[in-house]
Structure 1
Amino acid sequence: MGAESSYVPRYVDRALDLLLGELPAVMLTGPRGCGKTTTALRRATSVMRLDRPEEAGAFRAAPDAVLGAQPTPVLIDEWQAVPESMGAIKRAVDSGSDAGRFLITGSVRARLDPAGWPATGRVVPLAMSGLTVGEIERRVGAVEVIEQLFGDQDPTVVTLEQVFSLIDYVDHALRGGFPDAIGLGDFARAAWYDGYADQLVRHDVSDLAEVRSPSGLAALLRAVALNTAGMPTLATLAEAAGIDHRTARTYLDLLEDLRIIERIPAWTTNRLARMVKTPKYYLLDSGLAAHLAGDTRAGVLKSGDRLGRLIDTFVLAQIRPLLRLSTPTVTVHHLRDGNQTREIDLVLESASGQIVGIEIKAANTVDARDARHLAWLRDQIGAAFQRGVVLHTGSTTYPLGERLWAMPIAALWQGRSSRDG
Structure 2
Amino acid sequence: MDRYLERLIDPWLADVLAVAPAVMITGARASGKTTTALRHAASAVRLDREREAGPFEADPDAALRDRPEPLLIDEWQACPGVLGAVKRAVDTERRPGRFILTGSVRSDTDPALWPGTGRLIRMAMHPLTVREQRSEPPRPFLSGVLSGDLPATPSDSPDLRGYAEIALAGGFPEPALELSGSIRDDWLRSYIEQLLTRDLRGDRSDSDREKLDAFFEAYALNSAGIVNDNTLYEAAGLDRRTARAHVQMLTDVGAVAELPAWSTNRIKRLARGPKRYLADTGLWGAAVNADTDLVMSDGNLLGRLIDTFVTNQLRADADIDPARPRLCHLRDRDGRHEVDLIADMGARGIIAIEIKAHSAPKPSHARHLEWLRDKLGDRFKAGVMLHTGPARFLLGDRIEALPISILWS
Residue 57 of structure 1 is matched in structure 2 by: 54
Q: Secondary structure at the match of 2:308?
A: helix
2:103 to 106, 110, 114: 106
Whole-angstrom CA distance in 1 between matches of 2:104 and 2:332: 35
Cα deviation for residue 37 of structure 1 reads 0.5
Q: Secondary structure at the match of 1:250?
A: helix
CA 1:397–1:88: 2 relative to 1, 3 Å: same
Q: Secondary structure at the match of 2:266?
A: coil
Is the CA contact (8 Å cut-off) linking 1:155 and 1:397 kept in structure 2? Answer: no
Is the CA contact (8 Å cut-off) linking 2:80 and 2:112 kept in structure 1? Answer: no
Residue 192 of structure 1 is matched in structure 2 by: 187
Is the CA contact (8 Å cut-off) linking 1:110 and 1:117 kept in structure 2? Answer: no
Q: Pairwise mapping of residues 371-386 of structure 1 onto structure 2 (< 5 A)?
A: 371-386=366-381
Q: Secondary structure at the match of 1:352?
A: helix
Taking structure 1 as the reference length, what is the TM-score of the superposition? 0.93
Cα deviation for residue 353 of structure 1 reads 5.2
How many pairs are equivalent? 406
Write out per-residue CA displacement over residues 24-61 of structure 1, whole angstroms, 9 at most, x where no aligned residue: 10011111111111100111111110111121222101
Residue 140 of structure 2 is matched in structure 1 by: 144
Whole-angstrom CA distance in 1 between matches of 2:213 and 2:382: 40
Cα deviation for residue 240 of structure 1 reads 1.3
Residue 97 of structure 1 is matched in structure 2 by: 94
Q: Secondary structure at the match of 1:396?
A: coil
Whole-angstrom CA distance in 2 between matches of 1:352 and 1:210: 49
Read off the aligned partner of 1:94 and give its amino acid letter. Answer: D
Cα deviation for residue 269 of structure 1 reads 0.6
Taking structure 2 as the reference length, what is the TM-score of the superposition? 0.95
Whole-angstrom CA distance in 1 between matches of 2:157 and 2:314: 19
Residue 225 of structure 1 is matched in structure 2 by: 220
Is the CA contact (8 Å cut-off) linking 1:345 and 1:359 kept in structure 2? Answer: yes
2:72 to 70, 75, 79: 75
Calculate percent identity across the aligned residue pairs.
43
Q: Pairwise mapping of residues 256-405 of structure 1 onto structure 2 (< 5 A)?
A: 256-352=251-347, 354-405=349-400
Q: Secondary structure at the match of 1:193?
A: helix
Residue 167 of structure 2 is matched in structure 1 by: 173
Read off the aligned partner of 2:118 and give its amino acid letter. Answer: G
Is the CA contact (8 Å cut-off) linking 2:356 and 2:388 kept in structure 1? Answer: yes
Cα deviation for residue 370 of structure 1 reads 0.9
Read off the aligned partner of 2:371 and give its amino acid letter. Answer: W
Is the CA contact (8 Å cut-off) linking 2:140 and 2:318 kept in structure 1? Answer: no
Structure 2 unaligned regions, length at least 5? none
Range moving further from structure 2, 108-117 or 173-182: 108-117
Write out per-residue CA displacement over residues 350-392 of structure 1, whole angstroms, 9 at most, x where no aligned residue: 0215111111111110111111100000000000000001111
Whole-angstrom CA distance in 1 between matches of 2:238 and 2:363: 44
CA 1:48–1:205: 2 relative to 1, 3 Å: farther
Is the CA contact (8 Å cut-off) linking 2:141 and 2:150 kept in structure 1? Answer: no
Q: Note the aligned Cα RMSD (angstroms).
A: 1.7
Structure 1 unaligned regions, length at least 5? 415-421
Whole-angstrom CA distance in 1 between matches of 2:76 and 2:293: 42
Cα deviation for residue 109 of structure 1 reads 2.8
